[in-house]
Amino acid sequence: MKIATSFFYCLVLAAICTPLHAQETISSPYAEVKGSIVISEFHTLDKPSSAEAIFINALLWSIENREPENRESQEEKSTIDIDYDKKQYLLESVLTNPRSASRYRYLLLVKVVDNIITILASDITYEAETSVIKLVKRLVFEKLQPEKKPKHKEHLNEFATLYKERIKQLLEAITTNSVPTITHWAEIKSKDVVKGMNKSECLLAFGKPASVQKQGIKEEWMYDSYTYLFFENEIVVSLIK
């Protein structure tokens, strides 16, 4: 998938501000917007009390709970586009059903205004490895024909169920997790980490580490063979990058 930020910002506004006319073959919660099959929703939150706190908790949860990518090549590495000033982010996400081995890749656009969070899922694609040779079968939701193919209807229902639970977890995390202290905004926006930053700030700057090692109050985050962060009492005391 290729992220086109401005297109999806326009897409979420269309999804929220104008009536949506779903295709006859696409049942709720799906709708069609500018030829794209999407799931659009918004929620008014009583807590946290500020838009920044809602945004930070949502973003941190999304970063920490991303599924492994299972990509065939480094060129397909997933991306995340964050606009801290506008309090919005666009994240490529994966949902997997361990029972069916089905995997769904999609773009998640989250935007916060006042105490309202808008959430849009688009570019939804079904993925599964073929049984004969290890190739990945992909099927974009815009090509589904649920009125003709029962399997396509299963894909729609399966993703809707997985996605509903995912968003439920996201909203619970936003309202129940404590709001972290963020002071190193300049470093975060430039995707840098320095001594003195806390774990939340490191997640915002560098994303989720590949591995974590703990020894008492000390902790090591490894991102790759060249990048390590070392914490004591959850504060960066040393780093290799």
CATH of the domain at 42: 3.30.530.80
- What is the pTM (predicted TM-score) of this model? 0.82
Are residues 101 and 11 part of one domain?
Answer: yes
Predicted local distance difference test score (pLDDT) of residue 136: 74
Predicted local distance difference test score (pLDDT) of residue 137: 84
Please tell me the total count of domains within the chain.
2
Are residues 231 and 199 part of one domain?
Answer: yes
Q: How far is CA 149 from CA 25, 39, 106, 154, 162, in A?
A: 11, 21, 22, 9, 21
For the residues 201-207, what does the mean pLDDT come to? 96
- Asked whether the predicted pLDDT for residue 3 surpasses 60, the reply is no
Are residues 9 and 99 part of one domain?
Answer: yes
pLDDT tens digits, one per residue of 30-80 = 999 889 999 999 999 999 989 999 999 999 999 999 875 544 433 444 578
pLDDT tens digits, one per residue of 142-175 = 999 999 999 999 999 999 999 999 999 999 999 9
The label of the residue with tokens 């780093």 reads 239
For the residues 112-136, what does the mean pLDDT come to? 87
Residue at a domain's end among 159, 176, 193: 176
Of 74-83, 192-201, 221-230, minimum mean pLDDT range: 74-83
Domain that holds residue 141: 5-176
Bridge-based pairing state of the strands 88-97 and 211-215: unpaired
Are residues 189 and 131 part of one domain?
Answer: no
